[in-house]
Amino acid sequence: MVKRPYTGEAARGSMSLDTLTRWCMKDNDSETEARARAVRIRRALNTLDVGERRQHRRQVRLQQLWREIGGSVAV
């Protein structure tokens, strides 16, 4: 999990690019460098979010299958 700088909260891919840029500016980068860094962070967060959603869907599907199997065996 990626932590937001100075807050310790989890960062998400849905966060605005401006917010990420402001955080990167706190590290005394130029605005151009901060924006480039924010774009890289946002891409990485989006990739993580997609992976988490896939994993969650997979877990839900497995739970559904187990319920179906359990119901058919019990009958």
In whole angstroms, what separates CA 11 from the centre of its chain?
A: 7
pLDDT at 20: 80
Determine how many CB atoms are found less than 10 A away from the CB of residue 15.
15
pLDDT at 71: 74
The pLDDT tens digits of the residues spanning 9-25 come to 556 556 788 888 887 88
pLDDT at 60: 94
Q: Which residues of the chain have pLDDT under 70?
A: 1-14, 28-29, 72-75
pLDDT at 9: 58
Give the integer Cα–Cα distance in Å for 15 and 45: 9
Q: Please tell me the pTM assigned to this model.
A: 0.51
